[in-house]
Amino acid sequence: EAGVTQFPSHSVIEKGQTVTLRCDPISGHDNLYWYRRVMGKEIKFLLHFVKESKQDESGMPNNRFLAERTGGTYSTLKVQPAELEDSGVYFCASSETGSDGYTFGSGTRLTVV
Amino acid sequence: GQSLEQPSEVTAVEGAIVQINCTYQTSGFYGLSWYQQHDGGAPTFLSYNALDGLEETGRFSSFLSRSDSYGYLLLQELQMKDSASYFCAVHTGGFKTIFGAGTRLFVKA
């Protein structure tokens, strides 16, 4: 079974630009999560999809961040316009039931300069 | 607020036993998980404790005390490949999981 895949693995952009991150969860997993880790800190929750619906987006930092999951398959996370403090590793995870262990992708390392 | 506390770094010798502690303060609690992450890789699920007590999976064991809001991950017969970051995580309900800042384990020869 293919795991959770994220694209790109790395992205370096200038402040003010737009970046879109993509996550392909494990096929059949209704639950999809976005997390972010800023260097040395906790893996912080951003939001949770159940199929195409946003179940919980309480962790989204501000309205510069927009997540979508059209059709309930892959998800995108867009940052527009990017700021320096948005730098970090963005992880996507999926889960079949939501209460079992998550399967994470390898993350996208975003650097805003 | 909600928080999970775990040591930032632990160093141990190959073949030894190491315990990584985690204390938590959350608004809801359904269970405690542990994840391992090697540099540049994906966090990988190790274990899940919903009830008090010790769960053993090979060289790794995980313990939970709900009354103390405390758990630990025990790694036995340490190997060099165990060098990684270990995250504790709490399922708080509503299918939401919050993570600690991770403990970086260094295994020395």
Compute the nearest-CA separation of B41 from chain A (Å): 5
Residues of B in contact with A95 (CB under 8 A): 95
Q: Which chain A residue shows the shortest CA-CA distance from B85?
A: A40
CA distance A1 to B14: 33
Return the number of other C-beta atoms located less than 10 Å from residue B56's C-beta: 12
Nearest to A71 by CA among A27, A106, A18, A105: A27
B4: three-class secondary structure by DSSP: strand
Pairwise CB contact (< 8 Å): A42 & B102: yes
Task: Please give the DSSP secondary-structure letter assigned to residue B32.
Answer: E
List pLDDT tens digits, range A53-67: 999 999 999 999 999
* Residue partners of B79: CB distance under 8 A and separation at least 6: B14, B107
Local mean pLDDT, 10-residue blocks, chain A (113 residues)? 91 98 95 93 93 93 95 95 97 84 94 97
The pLDDT tens digits of the residues spanning B54-91 come to 999 899 999 999 999 999 999 999 999 999 999 999 99
> What integer pLDDT is reported at residue B17 of this predicted model?
97
